[in-house]
Structure 1
């Protein structure tokens, strides 16, 4: 059963996308204050208090990462946000991973900060849960603070240290303990390969809780990922390296918007390409694609087919005739043969094709049109053997 989380929604200047900030064990949503101003310039921003944290309700434990993820999804459902950019730190990173694996349609991108696919041995978390239930979160506030920040930051910024120590102490004992039990069960290592969205993985160089080595496991397991290790940062790297983290997230979100546009053009282009050339031809082309030729195939699909051929100014019939005329004029016989056969399969009248070649002969030269007629004659015999058409030769 989901819990109705407390959250802040900051409407961004763009309004085209939404970024969701999911925080650490023992934190509240104010931990994201350094990021919200910068992120709101490119997206709407939602920062949540997890169950048992901040001002969200504190149900009796134990919890699971799946439970906590469903809480976050319920917030998104209530706000009508279908697909979002997920940003999670520590426990929040586990929740973000769960959503990307089990509810992949909800994620546009994934940014994982100082988290893990498995947070050590389960018994250590169960022991911590028992200790918190016995002695309260105040008893471990100093230890948590020493993991959150480097010693240098703690010594030079007493106000920041005191504020974050108070954040830990204010966390519900039961909420903290039950969340420890959730982490004791968490192991996403086998499912990292199921993450299919662009992913940014960021480690703090001096993080004792989720080390760069822990984060490298995530980066190696997710195919579409980039990996950064930030110097002079411990567990709450978003606070200690606020500017750098914000810039990386903005870059991730902005880059994905461009990628989304490219993907939309590619999808539209592929549909048009199949319509014009036929599924069989396109499947053969895809099968022949190599790592070396893939960028060119993507370029042609997005630009020629996804941009020009999809424009409303000319219908596909007219574009076919123009393509035949131009390829004839420039003598591009390989492409011309392909388009002749595609046009005939699509039902173009051979006599109309002949008129195109005759017209091209006047303005682009008889030899090129002669070659076009010869190719069309062969294609007609192979494609429409019962048809009788006129064939011109010089």
Structure 2
């Protein structure tokens, strides 16, 4: 029997599972819009293996197993059917869930996600992995540069940029290296055609970590997928959460 991941539950209403990105947690990736979503939905925030208190198994993370664990987590939280949204690394995992468990998934949304690590993303992840492994003190600068749009950073004083760099690397998830490795190995292109649920794909126009071409690839592979662009970088949901929140609510509340 597949074991559930550690998780948080917020709000009430129809089920909504939110899958976080690399080296993060549910609240770390979704915290800026969590209260608004929990006002309408029962929001379940699973911690991926190696994040929060979810244990990290021996050996590489298996995407099918993680997808099954996400479903087991939703069921442990009392949800048999649910919408699912994934941010960054959470996006291909959410796609896996929708393809493997169509009877459970009512809607699928991806936010600044990818179906596979195209060249730019692969290089970004490889550089991050190398810097993380040697605990490079400039790692925070890399993450800030990749996460935020140029316009957003340009408007900040240098001291604030340095604060972001320190904050984003102060408490890495124990499973950071394993999650980066999972991102490098993930390829859900074959799963895109198996997705039956109505789908939304959200890209950020200034994303330097996972450029919008990745989201276009997802949208092109899922029949009838809705594509929305928001301004900002990979962390657009932190720069200005309103456009992403609006896109998600319009999709979740509206017709398929």
Q: Is contact 2:96–2:191 with CA below 8 Å preserved after alignment? A: no
Q: Over aligned residues, Cα RMSD in angstroms?
A: 2.7
Q: Which runs of 4+ in 1 moved over 4 A?
A: 1-4, 121-130, 157-161
Larger RCO (CA within 8 A; separation ≥ 6): 2
Q: How far is the alpha carbon of 1:133 from its aligned partner?
A: 6.3
Q: Is contact 2:67–2:94 with CA below 8 Å preserved after alignment? A: yes
Aligned length: 252
Distance in 2, Cα, partners of 1:29 & 1:138: 26
SS of corresponding position for 1:194:
coil
Q: Is contact 2:9–2:77 with CA below 8 Å preserved after alignment? A: no
Q: Is contact 1:7–1:48 with CA below 8 Å preserved after alignment? A: yes
Which protein has the bigger helix share? 1
Residues 222 and 186 of structure 1: CA distance in aligned 2, closer, same or farther (over 3 Å): same
Q: Is contact 1:109–1:253 with CA below 8 Å preserved after alignment? A: yes
SS of corresponding position for 1:9:
strand
**Residue 75 of structure 1 aligns with which residue?**
73
Distance in 1, Cα, partners of 2:104 & 2:143: 32
**Residue 273 of structure 1 aligns with which residue?**
none
**Residue 239 of structure 2 aligns with which residue?**
240
Distance in 2, Cα, partners of 1:141 & 1:190: 34
Which protein has the bigger strand share? 2
Q: Is contact 1:111–1:200 with CA below 8 Å preserved after alignment? A: yes
**Residue 210 of structure 2 aligns with which residue?**
210
When Rg is computed on C-alpha atoms for both structures, the one with the higher figure is 1
Distance in 2, Cα, partners of 1:137 & 1:48: 29
Q: Is contact 2:10–2:43 with CA below 8 Å preserved after alignment? A: yes
- Residue 146, structure 1, aligned to residue 145, structure 2: yes
Q: How far is the alpha carbon of 1:137 from its aligned partner?
A: 7.7
1:28 to 25, 29, 38: 25
Q: Is contact 1:22–1:93 with CA below 8 Å preserved after alignment? A: yes
Q: Is contact 2:87–2:113 with CA below 8 Å preserved after alignment? A: yes
Q: Is contact 1:58–1:172 with CA below 8 Å preserved after alignment? A: no
**29-38 vs 83-92, which deviates more?**
29-38
Q: Normalising by structure 1, what TM-score?
A: 0.58
- In the TM superposition, 1:62-101 aligns within 5 A as 62-101=60-99
Q: Is contact 1:42–1:254 with CA below 8 Å preserved after alignment? A: no
> For residues 169-210 of structure 1, what are the alpha-carbon distances to aligned partners after superposition, in whole Å with 9 as ceiling and x for unaligned?
41235x111112212221122331111111111111011122
Q: How far is the alpha carbon of 1:151 from its aligned partner?
A: 3.1
Where do 5+ consecutive residues of structure 1 fail to align?
260-394
Distance in 1, Cα, partners of 2:45 & 2:162: 21
**Residue 172 of structure 2 aligns with which residue?**
171
Distance in 2, Cα, partners of 1:46 & 1:162: 30
> For residues 295-339 of structure 1, what are the alpha-carbon distances to aligned partners after superposition, in whole Å with 9 as ceiling and x for unaligned?
xxxxxxxxxxxxxxxxxxxxxxxxxxxxxxxxxxxxxxxxxxxxx
